[in-house]
Amino acid sequence: MKLPAPLRRPPRYASLAAGALPVLTFPAAGLGWLAWVALVPGLELMRRADTGREGAVRGWWFGAGFILTAMYWLVPSVGPGLLALAVVFGALQGAVGLAVQRLLHPPLTTRRAALALLVVPSVWVSTEFVRSWHALGGPWALLGSSQWEHPAVLGLASVGGAWLVSAAVVAANTGVLILLAGRRPGVRAVAAAAVTAALLAGPLLFAVQSAPAAGDRATLALVQPGEVADPAARFAASERITERLHGVDLVVWGESSTSTDLDRAPDVLARLERLAAATGAPLLVGEDARKADGRISKDAVLVTRDGVAERYRKIRLVPFGEYVPLRPVLGWLTGISKAAGENRAPGAAFHLLHTTDRSGRPLPFGALICFESTFPDMSRVAADQGARMIVFQSATSSFQSSWAPQQHASLGALRAAETGRPVVQAALTGESVAYDRQGRRLAALGTGDRGALTVDLPLAEPGAATWYQRLGDWVPYTAVAVSLAAASGLRRRRAPQPEPAGPQPAVSAR
């Protein structure tokens, strides 16, 4: 019996395993430094492929291994659907494998090495950008987010978002691969220069940025009741923690901290109004409830002593967790997993919420709900609208024992560096965390903690803007343009040359 081709190709299995290696750079493993070389084994397997097609297949297997490992915690929500996600999204990395094989196969020239240092990071960022489209799932596990612990490296994010950090990390990996594979001095010189530039670019940008000036500050309390399954008991636990708070400008509860529609539950609203009066600060609570129209939605609700002041409804829902894409086709997953039994209702558009601090100064802020913290563009829109800080509400109890809560909390560092706004996240079961305007972590409550995390935040100045806020997603769009240009050049080189038309002149024998 003849085995299928994939079973006769051990390098493909090695590529699958190599795809898991970069996941060690994310929390909770926390080996962020490894990101600068973690891709090298997988890239080497792609480089050694005999053909461009085989390089693309190895890239596909590498991508599937990455998705399976980075998102293993989704198994309770999507069940065997995770394998399908790995196959689909892994296919995007086939473009990386093709680029690596075409540009870095031996014998390696200086020209092809230089092209690879531009094209390979561009193709990688393009694949991240495609799978980050919210209709396809969203930007979870971007390679650039592995550098969340290093504010100096996040200087890149202030100019080009997480995308530029990803590009620098991939460029460094590509350069290391060329240093190991190249033999010519010119090839190695180009690679060494690229690695040096990738490593130094972030710290240099961080150094030239002006240090955050002393200015207005706000004191926030993030309430974390811990693992309490019953909604009423969870509300009561948050209530007890809040009663002990004083001298704060805003109290933030996590996502789904109340399961009642506050517009139709005067008794629950009255309890929150009393808390706001007792603490002297408004409360931002997470409402996960069926509304008057019969549909369930998730809202961030700002409650003062006088009642509901403002609310924002989550607009980007979690695939399978809060809605099932193509439910008529994929609805069967709800019978074998914890996928959403019914689709939540999304909001129409993002908008700021507004309150004042204890001295009466306006305090506009962006309130984003859980999964929305993964999207760079949403925090950028909040900054564009005038937010002086960004607040995330989260609930990750379904994945409490996995790596997901730590990785989710780490994204606040990227959003802070990208927007120049301080970021906080209040999570029901952890991690609750706070970052300053450059992505430095100020304080945190882990998944095993309960209580309130009180933090004094230096606010962004009105009108302040980072380069990323001004320029937007110029990095992924540039990467797509470079990738398309490289693909066009590859097609031209492979196209057969046309035969000369008409009779050819006779050639003298002399």
- Angle CA 103–108–113, to nearest 5: 55
Instruction: Confirm if 102 and 52 have CB atoms less than 8 A apart.
Output: yes
Burial 308-320 (b: 16+ CB within 10 A, else e): bbbbbbbbbbbbb
pLDDT in tens, 22-73: 999 999 888 999 999 999 999 999 999 999 999 999 999 999 999 999 988 8
User: Given this model, what pLDDT does residue 507 score?
Assistant: 44
User: Given this model, what pLDDT does residue 210 score?
Assistant: 67
Strand order from edge to edge, sheet including 307-313: 307-313, 296-304, 283-290, 250-252, 217-224, 451-458
Residue 13 to residues 10, 44, 64, 94, 154, Cα–Cα distance (Å): 5, 14, 11, 15, 34
Low-confidence residues of the chain: pLDDT under 50: 1-3, 6-8, 497, 505-510
Cα–Cα dist 89/216, whole Å: 44
Cα–Cα dist 370/222, whole Å: 14
Q: Please state the φ and ψ torsions of residue 365, each to the nearest 5 degrees.
A: -145, 155
Burial 174-196 (b: 16+ CB within 10 A, else e): bbbbbbebbeeeebbebbeebbe
H/E run at residue 366: strand 362-369
Which pTM does this prediction carry?
A: 0.91
- CB under 8 Å to 258, separation ≥6 — which residues? 231, 235, 268, 285, 286, 287, 288, 289
User: Given this model, what pLDDT does residue 211 score?
Assistant: 67
Cα–Cα dist 431/154, whole Å: 21
In the three-class reduction of DSSP (H, G, I as helix; E, B as strand; rest coil), residue 252 is classed as: strand
User: Given this model, what pLDDT does residue 510 score?
Assistant: 35
Q: Is the dihedral of CA 290, 317, 312, 453 positive or negative?
A: positive
Cα–Cα dist 393/367, whole Å: 8
User: Given this model, what pLDDT does residue 497 score?
Assistant: 46
User: Given this model, what pLDDT does residue 397 score?
Assistant: 80
